[in-house]
Structure 1
Amino acid sequence: MNSTNSHTLADMQAYTAARYTAQEIAQTHNVAESTVRTRWFDWIRQVAPAELLKDDRGYSELARTLFGDFAGVKLCDRNQWVTEAKARYSHEWESAGIIEGELMPEEVGNVLALRQTQNHELGLSVAQQLQQLESLIDQANTAEGNLSDADLKAAVTRGQQRAVMLYQAELQAELQTINSLKQRRMGGGQP
């Protein structure tokens, strides 16, 4: 993949990531929110598949860009704008792996564009989940290492404690025996 294509793919990724409300777009162009949602959206979805323009989170960066382009178009030039914008943006979709919609029925182009977007978002999600999993594994390894050190220290401490108890028991038995023998020697054999 050459640098132009990867740049274009990065642009498409940005187009699908950001989200804007109709109110934000309307305020930018000093129009009513309903104008953005109805009249203008009908025009820009002739340029790109609706799935690339809007979802339940709002309008995409691509939609915001197209709204910006469309805002300055005169009423009599709108059909020409659609043709030109379609040519401009379909080239970007093609370089991102989306087949140009004019070579096939619009429904197929829309499905392919949607699938490309979904695959990209899924890829980002998988990459993020993998990164989280790797972080969790690192934390578990650190905790396991800390646990192993703690277990080792506990075992050493238990060994020392046992050795002290054994030595103490041995020393007490030795001292009692010596004391008992001394008393016998001095006392004539009575314990």
Structure 2
Amino acid sequence: MYTAVQIAEQLNISEATIRNRWFEWIEKVVPEPLLRQGKNQYTQLALELFSKFATVELCDRNQWVADTKARYSHEWESAGVIEGELMPEAVGNVLALRHTQTHELELAVAQQLQQLESLIDQANTAEGNLSEADLKAAVTRGQQRAVMLYQAELQAELQTINSLKQRRMGGGQP
């Protein structure tokens, strides 16, 4: 859902233009329940139509309404939503609204799926970095143990040599 302010910012026009001037034209193409929920929340379909309407010249607006209405009616008809004379307009509007809401839900699910895949990629990268860090830490611990063992061995060797030299030289004390 979008506010008039958000749509206006995207199209670089005033919020009043969206609410007061352009909405009347957009509503000629698609019934209001498909364009907004409540007074301040516009649907994805409304955003798309406002974006397209922004490029229409003032003198071409009536033709744009006719062309766009025909295009969207055809889309709903192909989805089994509206069948002109066979279905009352109110029923067609409700079905078209359901189709639009389903489409918006599909878009939201696709976006959530993309975010989840990104999170999984981040977790895999972190796990790879953790494994690399664990390996480096193990190598460092091994080096530290080897240094300590060599130091203890060398120290014992030097003490023993020193002790033996002192004995040989007559110190006699171990």
Shorter-chain-normalised TM-score: which range?
Answer: 0.5 to 0.7
Which SS does the other structure have where 1:142 is aligned? helix
Deviations 1:133-164 (A, max 9, x none): 11121122112211211111111011001100
Report the equivalent of 2:30: 48
Q: How does 1:26-37 map to 2 (within 5 A)?
A: 33=20
**Deviation of the 1:19 alpha carbon:** 4.6
Equivalent position amino acid for 1:187 in 2? G
Report the equivalent of 2:162: 179
Higher relative contact order (CA 8 A, sep 6+): 1
Report the equivalent of 1:159: 142
Report the equivalent of 1:57: 41
Q: TM-score, normalised by structure 1?
A: 0.62
Equivalent position amino acid for 1:161 in 2? Q
Task: List alignment gaps of at least 5 residues for structure 2.
Answer: 1-5, 9-13, 54-59
Q: Return the match for 2:103 from 105, 108, 120.
A: 120
Equivalent position amino acid for 2:74 in 1? H
Give distance in 1, aligned partners of 2:76 and 2:7. 19
Paired residues, what number? 153
Q: How does 1:14-33 map to 2 (within 5 A)?
A: 19=7, 23-24=16-17, 33=20
Report the equivalent of 1:143: 126
Query: Is 1:52–1:114's contact at 8 Å kept on the other side of the alignment?
Result: yes
Bigger drift between 126-135 and 161-170 goes to: 126-135
The runs of at least 4 consecutive aligned structure 1 residues that moved more than 3 Å come to 18-23, 61-65, 84-89
**Deviation of the 1:123 alpha carbon:** 0.9
Q: How does 1:98-137 map to 2 (within 5 A)?
A: 98-100=81-83, 102-137=85-120
Aligned residues: CA RMSD: 3.7
Identity percentage of aligned residues: 70
Give distance in 1, aligned partners of 2:165 and 2:108. 84
Q: TM-score, normalised by structure 2?
A: 0.67
